[in-house]
Amino acid sequence: MVSPELSHFQSSPMAKPRNRPFWCLSDGFLYFGGACLALLLVWSFWSFFTPIPNFEPTMTEPPSKLRKNPVDCMESGFGVNLKSDPKDPTFYDDPEMSYSLEKPVKDWDEKRKEWLKHHPSFAAGARERIVLVTGSQPKPCKNPIGDHLLLRFFKNKVDYCRIHGYDIFYNNLLLHPKMNSYWAKLPVVKAAMLAHPEAEWIWWVDSDAAFTDMEFKLPLERYKNHNMVVHGWPKLIYQSKSWTSLNAGVFLIRNCQWSMDLINTWSSMGPMSEDYVKWGQIQRSTFKDKLFPESDDQSALIYLLYKEKEKYYDHIYLEGEFYLEGYWVEIVGGYENTTERYLEIERGVPKLRRRHAEKVSEQYAAFREEFLKEAGNGKGSWRRPLITHFTGCQPCSGDHNQMYAGETCWNGMVKALNFADNQVLRKYGFVRPDLRDSSTVTEVPYDYPADEGPW
């Protein structure tokens, strides 16, 4: 909207003075009167053709909410100021600070606290802020469908993070030239901790793991006294001494000095260490069921728990109450039954059938929870598993455990991804009727009785 400009009237320097005051006064009145009449006519025509703009706000919020200060205007939708980085020095300005594994980070809790002090808008909700980290190899896949599968696995993680308001970082480079294969995650996790001081947790999820309960949210309150969460079983560690007593492909780790120290110790058993071969021998002699001689990240973490229980056990939560990650072989065959059981619940509970925005999915997850008490958890349960992990299947290389055929792996991945995607697509009005068919969708019919009301 363009505001009208004011006109400034000036006396003409060419006007000639009159000798007689009377005529001077009369001319002055005539000149002034003519100017006023002209101005009035111009104003009248302007008002007729250009409606006077109404500058009053039409919103019903109180004035205090309408007049935002400059900081409010720069805030994101999550209430954090993304455009402010004060000049106060932080750990980022320390030339000795390194993202590399070779140089340990010291006093990280104090440094992170200081950063949050200079960025107060991130303080609210910091205790529950999660950054999900995942990644894959830097080169194209050998498996002809490998890149397509990795893309879909990544989309799956992006969907989950969007629903729950998490940030996500996908890495496809080796951040340490020697730390390859399953060891590649450790330099990425450390770098993510430094890059995200605003986050309390870093959540590593392997590239071959898919979220298959898109509504479920981690029970962070359960882990308030721990610094790491991993799917595992104490009896298998301390009694069976098994290298499969936990799975290091999915873990939650607190962004703190304890975790920095753990990563430093953990990575010292990897390929970057001069004792790498020796560590492989130690692990294999300790865990009799370990199948290969090289030191691996999973066996290394189990070894730390086994040998230094007093130092690590109280800080690492071994989650066994739900599928923080679940072995795909015992899961994928039950997706259809799980789908039907959930639909059966919805048929009896109209509020669960109500169409809603994707952003409020967590509320409907809370509604649903009271009807899942009999579903159980883990093997044999008809509850959706949080994560289906395709351990033994390598979508990029095409390699797989010889216990099953490669096609079994790839078909299982497609089924799991479609099962998860259906939960997302429903918010957009569509669903795949056949979990084995990725290309066919149908529209979800409206099925919410008008007489039920919103609740």
> DSSP readout, 320-353?
-SS-SSEEGGGTGGGHHHHHHHHHHHHHH-HHHH
Distance of CA 319 to the CA centre of its chain: 21
Distance CA 232, CA 249 (A): 11
Tokens 């800080």 sit at which residue?
315
The two structure tokens encoding residue 454: 């919103």
CA angle (57, 59, 65) in 5-degree steps:
90
Q: Which part of the chain is CATH 3.90.550?
A: 108-325
HSE of 210 in the Cβ direction (CA atoms, 13 Å)? 28
State the DSSP code for 433.
Answer: S
Tokens 């111009």, located at residue: 42
- Asked if 316 contacts 227 with a C-beta cutoff of 8 angstroms, the reply is yes
Nearest in space to 233 (alpha carbons), one of 321, 330, 327: 321
CATH topology of domain 108-325: Spore Coat Polysaccharide Biosynthesis Protein SpsA; Chain A (3.90.550)
- Positive or negative, the CA dihedral 361, 366, 367, 372 is positive
Q: Quote the pLDDT of residue 378.
A: 84
Report the C-alpha gap between 41 and 35 in whole angstroms. Answer: 10
Instruction: Identify the sign of the CA torsion 60, 356, 160, 372.
Output: positive
Which residues lie below 8 Å from residue 419, measured CB to CB, with a gap of 6+? 212, 335, 338, 339, 435
Q: What b/e readout covers 304-322, taking b as 16+ CB neighbours within 10 angstroms?
A: bbbeeeeebbeebbbbbeb
The Cα–Cα gap between 431 and 429 comes to: 7
Residue in 122, 129, 128 with CA at minimum distance from that of residue 90:
122
Task: Find the helix or strand (DSSP H, E) in which 366 lies.
Answer: helix 361-369
Q: Which long-range contacts (CB under 8 A, 24 or more apart) does 234-241 make?
A: 234/318, 237/302, 237/305, 237/306, 237/318, 238/306, 238/309, 241/286, 241/287, 241/288, 241/306
Asked whether the beta carbons of 208 and 392 are under 8 A apart, the reply is no
What stretch of H or E contains 27?
Answer: helix 21-49
Report helix angle 276-286 to 297-307, nearest 10.
60
Burial (CB < 10 A; 0-12, 13-18, 19+), residue 357, is: exposed
Instruction: Extract long-range pairs of 111-120: CB within 8 Å, 24+ residues apart.
Output: 111/197, 112/197, 112/255, 112/256, 114/90, 115/90, 115/91, 115/197, 115/198, 116/197, 116/198, 118/86, 118/88, 118/90, 119/81, 119/84, 119/85, 119/86, 119/198
Per-residue model confidence as pLDDT tens for the chain (455 residues)? 434 333 333 333 333 333 433 333 344 444 445 555 555 544 444 443 444 334 333 333 433 333 444 434 344 445 789 999 999 999 999 999 999 999 999 999 999 999 999 999 998 888 999 999 999 999 999 999 999 999 999 999 999 999 999 999 999 999 999 999 999 999 999 999 999 999 999 999 999 999 999 999 999 999 999 999 999 999 999 999 999 999 999 999 999 999 999 999 999 999 999 999 999 999 999 999 999 999 999 999 999 999 999 999 999 999 999 999 999 999 999 999 999 999 999 999 999 999 999 999 999 999 999 999 999 888 889 999 999 999 999 999 999 988 888 899 999 999 999 999 999 999 999 999 999 999 999 999 887 665 554 44
Q: Tell me, what's the pLDDT at 404? A: 85
Structure tokens at 403: 């216990």
- Residues 158 and 152: beta-carbon distance below 8 Å: no
pLDDT at position 124, please? 83
Q: What pLDDT is stored for residue 21 in this prediction?
A: 39
Q: Give the count of beta carbons closer than 10 Å to the beta carbon of residue 90.
A: 19
